[in-house]
């Protein structure tokens, strides 16, 4: 069986823990590889390698660091098909979606190519007599990233793209469920000209994460995953004196007002709810039609769309989504479907028991639809992370807006309407971090910034865009004085500008 190993100091490292995780082929249900799970020793080796590389890498001028990013982008683009196949083979998402995953990561690399501009500091000429004040952004040192299974291309690039361009070195702890692509990305970074140690990959579970959180050589931690772990990472990392950003789970709502283009809105919601088998933090698993007539029309149109929705293996070009990532995840989603029934929601389409000829052991779940879901139900309050769409009916606009605002998660939300005033009011008032107006998955572009509110994110700085640059740098402010003429008297009171 194939072993997936760590990547430390520019080389493959088997590790000494003797512990391994299983990596599945979600299409067939078979174990296809085992991944080494790090102990603190491998984490130490990776942090030591990153620390050795950092001073020289941080001293490379920003334009040359940007050139490494340009070359990395070229290398990834040249291998897009091979990398997408690798991603799909462990994650289960369809190939076109894997290409999208990598492409969204490359868009952050494109942003990182502009790092000389983003790192420019501020300067005040003549702040006082012979006095100039200027600020510069300096790298933090060694930063670490801990990433989820659902975007094994994009999310590592969100983190290491910006961190490395800013002059940090990086230790990535990717998800142990689909760990191969991040290693290939690290190899390509070396091929692009990043020196050994600038990007290391350590596989593992809680043991590796805790070792990174406690490690005195790690200055910053970026985490993306589920909310309870995000909160844990945030608390433990901050207690160890690190800068931490920790993105968590989500339950994104799509409001449909009576005046919306219903055909378009339902088409948009289908892709956002069921694409990638619902395993996206910006999926749209809750639809809130306003008014009974809208609700009935939406339900009817969703049911019509479900007739033609194709579930298949990840290499099937006709498939709209593939299997979920593991058998355990499939069970979790199916348990939620049962819970929904037990709680009294109406199960309109049941994806349990879905089977694909020739792939009977694959981790497939058919598209599932619930109607008459109520806010007090656990299936509404919690994240399911599967191909399950829930209709929560609201009588008024105010009632609809209150739902995402009151929810424990606040990652993304969308509104479908032709009424600009209502959309504007919604965008201003809703208590959620990322808002779409007639856009079902409002993931901001790389030069903007990504981050939710409430239990969807812990810490102050978002991912990528200028917030990413701020997260991975510290500001130094210099006050310089070049006096002319006679010696000035000592000042015993605090100097002020007069």
User: Which of 53, 158, 119 lies closest to 475 in space, CA to CA?
Assistant: 119
Q: Return the number of the residue (103 or 138) whose C-beta is nearest ligand NAD.
A: 103
- The distance of closest approach from Cβ of residue 260 to ligand NAD in the complex, given in angstroms and rounded to an integer, is 26
Query: Is the Cβ–Cβ distance between 433 and 273 less than 8 Å?
Result: no
Query: Is the Cβ–Cβ distance between 430 and 447 less than 8 Å?
Result: no
Name the one range near ligand NAD by CB under 6 A: 55-63, 87-95, 223-231, 363-371: 223-231
Strands 412-416 and 434-437, bridge-based pairing: parallel
Cβ neighbours of residue 83 under 8 Å, at least 6 residues apart? 76, 98, 102, 153, 181, 184, 185
Strand boundaries in 114-219, DSSP class E: 123-128, 131-139, 142-146, 169-173, 199-201
> Cα-flanking dihedrals φ and ψ of residue 123, to 5°?
-145, 130
Q: Which residue has the tokens 């490292």?
A: 13
Among positions 196-215, residues that touch ligand NAD (CB under 6 A) are 205-206, 209
Binding track, positions 130-159, relative to ligand NAD; x by CB under 6 A: ----------------xxxxxx--------
113 catalytic residue (yes or no): no
Q: Tell me which of 163, 281, 388, 430 binds ligand NAD, using CB under 6 A.
A: 281
Q: Return the number of the residue (183 or 229) whose C-beta is nearest ligand NAD.
A: 229
**Binding of residue 436 to ligand NAD (CB under 6 A):** no
Cβ neighbours of residue 156 under 8 Å, at least 6 residues apart? 105, 145, 147, 172, 174, 182, 185
Residue nearest to ligand NAD (CB): 225
Among positions 355-394, residues that touch ligand NAD (CB under 6 A) are 383, 385
**Binding of residue 331 to ligand NAD (CB under 6 A):** no
Q: In what order do the strands lie in the sheet with 123-128?
A: 123-128, 131-139, 473-481
Tokens of residue 182, six digits: 């991040």
Query: Is the Cβ–Cβ distance between 212 and 146 less than 8 Å?
Result: yes
Q: Return the number of the residue (173 or 253) whose C-beta is nearest ligand NAD.
A: 173
What is the CA angle 130-131-132, rounded to 5?
A: 125
DSSP 61: -
Q: Tell me which of 53, 84, 250, 432 binds ligand NAD, using CB under 6 A.
A: 250
Q: How many residues bind ligand NAD (CB under 6 A)?
A: 26
**Binding of residue 226 to ligand NAD (CB under 6 A):** yes
Binding track, positions 444-463, relative to ligand NAD; x by CB under 6 A: --------x---x-------
| Per annotation, catalytic residue among 4, 157, 281, 441 | 281
Among positions 396-435, residues that touch ligand NAD (CB under 6 A) are 411
Residues marked as catalytic: 281
Binding site for ligand NAD (CB under 6 A): 146-151, 173, 175-176, 205-206, 209, 224-226, 229, 247-250, 281, 383, 385, 411, 452, 456
């Amino acid at each position: 069986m194939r072993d997936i190993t760590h990547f430390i100091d520019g080389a493959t490292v088997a590790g000494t823990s003797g512990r391994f995780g299983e990596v599945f082929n979600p299409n067939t249900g078979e174990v296809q590889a085992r991944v080494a799970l790090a102990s603190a020793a491998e984490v130490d080796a990776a942090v030591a390698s990153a620390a050795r590389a950092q001073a020289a890498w941080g001293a490379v001028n920003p334009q040359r660091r940007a050139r490494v990013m340009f070359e990395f982008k070229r290398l990834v683009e040249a291998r897009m098909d091979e990398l997408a196949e690798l991603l799909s083979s462990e994650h289960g998402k369809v190939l076109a979606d894997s290409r999208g995953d990598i492409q969204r990561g490359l868009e952050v690399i494109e942003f990182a190519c502009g790092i000389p501009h983003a790192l420019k500091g501020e300067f005040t000429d003549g702040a006082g007599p012979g006095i100039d004040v200027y600020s510069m952004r300096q790298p933090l040192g060694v930063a670490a990233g801990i990433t989820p299974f659902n975007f094994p291309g994009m999310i590592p690039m969100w983190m290491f793209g910006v961190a490395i361009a800013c002059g940090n070195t990086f230790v990535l702890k990717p998800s142990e469920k689909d760990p191969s692509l991040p290693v290939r990305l690290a190899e390509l970074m070396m091929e692009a000209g990043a020196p050994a140690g600038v990007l290391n990959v350590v596989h593992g579970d809680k043991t590796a994460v805790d070792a990174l959180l406690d490690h005195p050589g790690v200055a910053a931690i970026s985490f993306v995953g589920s909310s309870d772990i995000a909160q844990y990472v945030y608390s433990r990392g901050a207690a160890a004196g690190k800068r931490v950003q920790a993105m968590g789970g989500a339950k994104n709502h799509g409001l449909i007002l009576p005046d919306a283009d219903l055909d378009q809105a339902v088409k948009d919601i289908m892709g956002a709810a069921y694409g990638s088998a619902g395993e996206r933090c910006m999926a749209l698993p809750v639809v809130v039609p306003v008014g009974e007539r809208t609700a009935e029309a939406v339900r009817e149109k969703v049911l019509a769309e479900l007739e033609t929705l194709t579930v298949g293996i990840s290499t099937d070009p006709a498939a709209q989504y593939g299997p979920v990532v593991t058998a355990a995840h499939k069970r979790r989603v199916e348990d939620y479907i049962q819970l929904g029934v037990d709680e009294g929601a109406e199960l309109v389409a049941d994806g349990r028991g879905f089977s694909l000829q020739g792939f009977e052991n694959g981790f497939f779940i058919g598209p599932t639809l619930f109607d008459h879901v109520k806010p007090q139900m656990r299936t509404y309050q919690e994240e399911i992370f599967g191909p399950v769409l829930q209709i929560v009916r609201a009588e008024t606009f105010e009632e609809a807006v209150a739902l995402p605002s009151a929810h424990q998660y606040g990652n993304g939300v969308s509104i479908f309407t032709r009424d600009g005033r209502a959309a504007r009011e919604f965008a201003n008032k809703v208590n959620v971090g990322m808002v779409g107006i007639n856009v079902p998955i409002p993931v901001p572009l790389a030069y903007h910034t990504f981050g939710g509110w409430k239990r969807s994110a812990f810490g102050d700085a978002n991912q990528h865009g200028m917030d990413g640059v701020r997260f991975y740098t510290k500001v130094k402010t210099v006050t310089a004085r070049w006096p002319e003429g006679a010696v000035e008297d000592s000042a015993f009171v605090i100097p002020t500008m007069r």
